[in-house]
Structure 1
Amino acid sequence: MFLPVLLIPLAAWVWSRLLISRADGMAGTWSRTLILLSGWMVCITEGLSAGYALEQQWLMVAWVAFLLTGILLLKDRTLLWTFTLPAIGKQERWFAGWILLVLMLTGVLACVAYPNNWDSMTYHLTRVEHWMQRQTVIHYATNNVRQVSQPPLAEYWILHILSLGGIDRLANLVQWTAWLISMISIWGILGVWGMSRKVQWSGVLLAAALPMAILQSTSTQNDLLAAAMMLQSVYWAFRVRNGNRQAVWWMLTAFSLAVFTKGSNYIYLLPVLPFAAIWVLRQFGWSCWKPALFGLAVLLVFNGPHWVRNHDTFGRWTGSDKTLVNDSHDPNQMLAVFLQNLAMECQTPISGWNRALTNAVMEIEKGTGVLPGEPTINWAPSPSFSVGMSSLHEDYTGNLLMVILSIVSLFILAGRYRKHPAVTLALMVVSMAVLFSLLLKWQVWHNRLHLPMLLLFIPAVAVALQYLHQHVRTGILIVVAAASIPWLVFNQSRPMVGKESVFRHYDYYQYFFNQPELLRTFLQLAAVADRNQVEKLGWATSGDAWEYPMWRILQDQEPEMRHVLVGNETRVFERSAWQPEGIVSNRAGLVALPRLQCHGRNYYRTYTDGQWAFFLPEPNL
């Protein structure tokens, strides 16, 4: 029964009514609502987790209490202002209509399509299943350390949705909602700068036409939520810049939630902090210790428990993989990473252009003394650098038009609007890109990590476009919107039309869109578990193996699933007293064995299919 999940949108609506303010407008109201609900959700998750009580009934109690509190407060409050839709011109109506159409199509797709993103199958959704089974978010033994080490805000939202609703398709709405709020925040930032509605509509249209955002809006990744939290941080920072002292509390809370969403936000926040500190100092003077203390407090409240769990397990607060960090910070090597990241955003359907761009980057690297595939700045598991064909996949797609507009905008802003706050934002984003290239090794999947930077830069682009002739500006926006249609309709993982359309296939088939060869294997493995009435299923897999589909296939049997034969730091949580009644493995060293031993018990291989095998316990003689 999915009705309990409606408590979340109901609570959002009630509290948004409480937070309405004429001064803040729609953007400020929904930003506050997102921050407030996210903070509440983190607190009840950690609180219930401490008592091993993360289950539907207690989550319902928490959300009902939150909803009733809002209703009681709303009952005693006179609403001084509410949202009104201003009259808009013909062009703005066309823009609004297109944006609404995009949101409707992606919203329907998000509700219909089953999750199938690679990372979701390996850790985003898998960690949620482990939390629900264990009724706690404390670390556990796992062969995929990302299931426990990564910042979990997006997965906390998914945890609440799945616990209350039980329908995993609804988990896609976390990203979709984050995209919607990102658009509202872009509108808000431009409003804080005093820009006209035409400029605001331009910014929202650019966000609605961004290829990577379109693809991710129907997935269960976390890049759009990471971008949304960064946009909240920047929005409130500019409110502080404009003299709003109350905005500082929301800004600092948004900072804390941003780093609780994704590790790359640590990097993206660094260029924002100096500007924010200066603006806070201007507003508070010697009393700036008060917001500083508040910021430290909310940072520890939201991130502290997860940091402690990571430190106790990995010896590092962030738990991040140290192999992802550049071994060298040489300027030439940083330039190489920067150019490779930029080139990957410029992929086109023209193979000759892509080859020329690849060769140009490699020639520049060669001229600066950087070797092709230099291991100190290129992540080993990633394929070698090469600009591929334009992709419709959420892990690889580029954003060529946005890159071109961003570069052109930099020249326009530098020449015309040097004192405009858009220049400050542009400086922030460029600094983010430089730090990103300085600190992280290049990998082919970086395009999705660039999404927060691209969305953050859109307000600056919208300001720069107003310098152009009206017809030129309108033509650019129409081209950008029209060019986004392939990503909207032909999403490689969740296509709307064609023989692979999500409207034509059942759930199991959709789970394996990105790994179709695994469908038969997982069904066979599940059949072996079901036939042998396995109630304790061990998972002895590699560090990036698919796992989530097995949870869904066996959801009626509800076996207890744990990782076994763990070889990383989380092995301290593996309990030898727990003896599985069956073991699934895709490790080459184990699959090839006719027998293996686990927790003092012998197992024999009863089924194998390619790289996967199923082991059953040998009978006691």
Structure 2
Amino acid sequence: MIFLIPLAIWLGTAICYMVFYKDMPQSFRRSILTSATGLFFFIAISTEFLSAFNLITRFAVTITWATLNLALFFVCRRIFQQGHITIWRATKNWYVSGQEFFQKLGLVTQIVLFTLLLITFTVAIVATPNNIDSLSYHLSRLGYWVANSNVEHYPSHIERAISFSPFSEYVHLNTFLLAGSERYFQLLQWFCLAGILSLVSMLTSYFSNSTRALRIALCFALTLPIVVLESMTTQNDLVVSFFILATAFHVFDYIKTRNSFILFLIALSCALGIMTKGTFVFYTMPFGILLFIFMISRPDHWKKLGKLSGGVVVAVLLVNAPFWHRTYEVFQTPIGTISSGNQNDITVPANLLSSVSKHTFLHLGFISPQNRYNDFMEKSLESFHQAIGVPLDDPRTGMPFKMNKLNFNEDFAHNFLGMLLILLSLPLLFFSKLTPIARRYAGLCFASFLLFCFFISYQTYGSRIHIPFFLLISPVIGLVYGSLFSEFFSKIFVVLLWLSALPFALLSVTHPLLSTKWFFEKIFPAVNTTLHLNINTENLLNLKQESILYNSPEKIIWGDAWPEVSQLKNYVESLEAKSIGFDFNEASYDYGYQYVLRKPNRHFKHIAVRNPSQVLEKTAFDPDCIIAEVDEGEQFSYHGITYVKKWSGTSRWLYVPR
């Protein structure tokens, strides 16, 4: 039944086209993005509604989507009859406009976009989800929601699973119940990236008609290493980036067109962005301030401003309040406590300089002979911190600083070339022929990054939460370098961006399309020796992975730990266990265990929880065995039953009733 989702998008796109965008430029892109936003909002609302009646089941979700499609079909048919046009005619118009758009891109840009999108799509659809955060909390939620038939909180050793914003997982929940498979999980981020590219193209065209600017902006956005890697995962940074760029576009679109419907889209984007990830607020606040100033300075917009403010509040509360309430009941705060360590100390003004410099230098590391380049950069950063009187590794401003070299992991890859191009564009902004509104947009992009750095401290995995900034600034990069380069050099530039991104698309650490084992055993040693990089490949065992095309799903998830986990699985199966308890820590691969152990009539629950969610534990649950990643000794008692250790691994143990 998974086809119900693309069918709803198509019908929604047709309706939006006829009602709102038929005679506007970029009509198809606007229509499909509006349709996607509306369906995202439908997912958020319908999931909470069905949960309230314990109807998070395959049957109920299928009926809900079928009903939606039926309603959209009748609305679509009526609208097209009134407009005296067939949906097939509209589809042909979209095809023609698409041809015109791709002709504007040119062959080189088309090749860059097509190859990278095809590679990442292939990996996203073929590879079993195995991102670390996804195994711990992004996907682990789904098993408990389906088992409980609702999205209520449950006892969990992994606090992130019951306190981090859930929108992306609501989408995964719907696709899982409709398809009965994880096959489509990683396509959410991929399709959000496609939507982001559409928004980047519209933003760039909003500021300039230059085809060079358009091509460079799109290629810059798509070739960012962290973007390439995340587009093949079940994380949520591209999802929240979609709502951030949508909000930014809608703000400027409203300023230009004064179309009241756009304010409705802003309200929906804000509600869904906040429901996806808290970083949404920091990156969109400067754009919200601009819109507020624009509307408050014009008395004829005051009524619309009031409606927008009320609409945002209502939409945000409508989709977020149920989750916030559940979280507050457990943690006495609506956002949980696990993220408190990421907050920056804003009491000292110099801390902002420290935070901005560290967030920036996070992307400026690279490999070099004897690591001389990184040593120089780190010493420069230390000297800067001495000058401003703040220790480089002050715990109030984040984790201990570490210069990156070259990383193919979606949590730690950085945007070396991207950050260099951004820094070089700063002086060029003063000489480039940008319109005043384009300069204003550029200023808001940099303001969003400063605001983020003001509140959020440095983290070694910060590259992925910088994704919105790099994507927001993409139109500016296109405008600056498009005005600087000739047609010929712009093509060379685009090709260089493409070549820099291909290794990340093909050699991801967690799900490589090509074997990284081959690369690190056959190619890298020669490079390492020739360039005197002094990198110890014996410490890179986790990078030596076989291609996803030849690996089993279990091996993709567990990697080198699969032989041990396989032994554990066989032992559990020999017990014919129907109920399994999990005694985990915050970083345990909850979803990994569920994936290899799930079967009909088997239930999983976290036991002996050591955080506030322990109040949700059911005393009636007496597991047939307990899988622990916390060594409880040779035996321990749970609900009056003594469990003894029967199997041991390197960092996991199995306990069964005496």
CA deviation map 1:301-333 (0-9, x unaligned): 111111111222212122252222124532222
Give the 5 Å matches for 1:364-513.
Answer: 364-379=384-399, 384-416=400-432, 419-470=435-486, 471-498=488-515, 500-513=546-559
Corresponding position of 2:233: 219
Matched residues in 1 for 2:410 and 2:604: separation?
A: 29
- Residue deviations 1:509-553 (CA, integer Å, cap 9, x gap): 01124xx2x323322222222111111111111112111111111
Q: Does 1:273 align with 2:275?
A: no
Aligned length: 605
> More displaced, 97-106 or 285-294?
285-294
User: Counterparts of 1:91 and 1:568 in 2: how far apart (Å)?
Assistant: 53
2:48 equivalent to 1:31: no
Establish whether residue 595 from structure 1 lines up as the match of residue 635 from structure 2.
yes
| Partner SS state of residue 472, structure 1 | helix
Q: Kindly provide the amino acid, as one letter, of the partner of residue 154 in structure 2.
A: Y
Distance 2:372 2:218 in 1: 33
CA–CA distance in structure 1, aligned partners of residues 236 and 274 of structure 2: 12
1:330 and 2:348 aligned: yes
Spell out, residue by residue over 1:449-482, the C-alpha distance to the aligned partner (whole angstroms, 9 max, x if none).
1111111110111111222131333332221122
Distance 1:549 1:555 in 2: 10
Q: Distance in 2 between matches of 1:398 and 1:341?
A: 11
Q: Specify the SS of the correspondent of 2:125.
A: helix
Cα distance in 1 for residues equivalent to 2:53 and 2:211:
50
SS in 2 for 1:169: coil
Instruction: Give the aligned residue type for 1:274.
Output: I
Deviation at 1:421, TM superposition (A): 2.4
Q: Tell whether 2:613 aligns with 1:570.
A: yes
Spell out, residue by residue over 1:148-184, the C-alpha distance to the aligned partner (whole angstroms, 9 max, x if none): 1111111111111111112213101011011110001
Aligned to 1:72: 74
Aligned to 1:147: 161
Any conservation in 2 of the 1:175–1:221 contact (CA below 8 Å)? yes
Distance in 2, Cα, partners of 1:177 & 1:402: 22
Give the % identical residues: 21
Within 5 Å, which residues of 2 pair with 1:224-243?
224-242=238-256, 243=258
SS in 1 for 2:28: helix
2:581 is aligned with what amino acid? Answer: G
For 1:270 and 1:157, how far apart are their aligned partners in 2?
26
Indicate the RMSD between aligned Cα atoms, in angstroms: 1.9
CA distance in structure 2 between the aligned counterparts of 1:292 and 1:480, rounded to whole angstroms: 41
Instruction: Check the 8 A contact 2:216/2:482 in 1, yes or no.
Output: no
Q: CA deviation at 1:207?
A: 1.6
Counterparts of 2:10 and 2:495, CA distance in 1? 33
What is the one-letter code of the residue matched to 1:228? F
Distance 1:613 1:56, change over 3 A: same
Partner amino acid for 2:657? P
In 1, the alpha carbon distance for the partners of 2:210 and 2:73 equals 35
Contact conserved, 2:433 with 2:483, CA < 8 A, in 1?
no
* Distance in structure 1 (CA, Å) of the matches to 2:239 and 2:101: 31
Shift of 1:417: 5.0
Q: Whole-Å Cα distance in 2 between the matches of residues 310 and 474 of structure 1?
A: 51
8 A contact 2:216–2:490 mirrored in 1: no
Partner residue in 2 for 1:254: 269
**SS in structure 1 of the partner of residue 484 of structure 2:** coil
Q: Distance in 2 between matches of 1:558 and 1:106?
A: 36
Q: Normalising to structure 1: TM-score of the pair?
A: 0.94
| C-alpha separation in 2, matches of 1:87 and 1:147 | 42
Matched, 1:158 2:177: no
- Give the C-alpha shift of residue 573 in structure 1: 0.5
Q: Tell whether 2:112 aligns with 1:98.
A: yes
| Alpha-carbon distance in 2 for matches of 1:263, 1:572 | 26
SS of match in other structure, 2:373: helix
For 2:477 and 2:173, how far apart are their aligned partners in 1?
Answer: 36
| CA distance, structure 1, for counterparts of residue 335 and residue 148 of structure 2 | 23
Match of 1:347 in 2: 365
Amino acid at match of 2:286: P
Q: 1:360 aligns with which of 356, 369, 380?
A: 380
In 2, Cα distance between equivalents of 1:267 and 1:609: 44
Q: Match of 1:616, SS?
A: strand
Q: Aligned letter for 1:70?
A: L
Q: Which amino acid aligns with 1:55?
A: T
Residues 91 and 307 of structure 1: CA distance in aligned 2, closer, same or farther (over 3 Å) = closer
**Bigger mean CA offset, 222-231 vs 27-36:** 27-36
The secondary structure found in structure 2 opposite 1:260 is helix
Work out the CA distance in 2 between the residues paired with 1:88 and 1:159: 34
Q: What is the letter of the counterpart of residue 510 of structure 1?
A: I
What residue in structure 1 maps to residue 121 of structure 2? 107
In structure 2, the CA distance between the partners of 1:184 and 1:609, relative to structure 1 (3 Å rule), is: same
**Aligned amino acid, residue 613 of structure 2:** T
Distance 1:63 1:91 in 2: 36
Q: Distance in 2 between matches of 1:53 and 1:548?
A: 22
| Alpha-carbon distance, 1:91 to partner | 6.6
SS for the counterpart of 1:86 is: helix
Residues 240 and 280, structure 1, Cα contact 8 Å, conserved in 2: no
Q: What SS does the corresponding residue of 1:115 show, helix, strand or coil?
A: coil
Return 5+ residue gaps in structure 2 as ranges.
518-545
**TM-score after normalising by structure 2:** 0.88
Local SS of the residue matching 1:561: strand
Secondary structure (helix, strand or coil) at the match of 2:627 reads strand
Distance 1:36 1:259 in 2: 16
Matched, 1:294 2:311: yes
Contact residue 248 and residue 280 of structure 1 kept, 8 A:
no
Larger deviation, residues 406-415 vs 251-260: 406-415
More displaced stretch, 190-199 vs 496-505: 190-199
The aligned amino acid for 1:202 is I
Aligned-pair CA distance for 1:253: 1.1
What's the secondary structure of 2:582's corresponding residue? strand
CA–CA separation in structure 2 for the residues paired with 1:330 and 1:232 = 34
- Aligned-partner Cα distance in 2 for 1:529–1:7: 37
Query: Deviations 1:95-151 (Å, cap 9, x if unpaired)?
Result: 123211211121111110111110011000101121111111111110011001111
Matching residue within 333, 336, 356 for 1:316: 333
- The alpha-carbon deviation at position 87 of structure 1 amounts to 7.0
Match of 2:279 in 1: 264
Question: Which secondary structure state, in structure 2, belongs to the residue aligned with residue 577 of structure 1?
Answer: coil
Alignment partner of 1:19 is 2:22? no
Q: Secondary structure at the match of 2:645?
A: strand
Query: Quick one: which amino acid aligns to residue 573 of structure 2?
Result: D
Aligned partners of 2:138 and 2:169 also within 8 Å: yes
CA distances 1:185-236 after superposition (whole Å, capped 9, x unpaired): 1111123334334422322222221111111111111111111111111111
Given that residues 337 and 442 in structure 1 are in contact (C-alpha distance below 8 angstroms), is that contact kept between their aligned partners in structure 2?
A: yes
Q: Determine the C-alpha separation between the residues in 2 that align with 1:443 and 1:194.
A: 36
What residue number does 1:614 align with?
A: 654
Cα drift, residue 89 of structure 1: 5.4
Report if the CA contact (8 A) 2:116-2:502 is conserved: no
- Note if 1:47 corresponds to 2:74: no
What is the distance in 2 between the residues matched to 1:362 and 1:557? 57
Query: Tell me, what secondary structure is at the counterpart of 2:79?
Result: coil
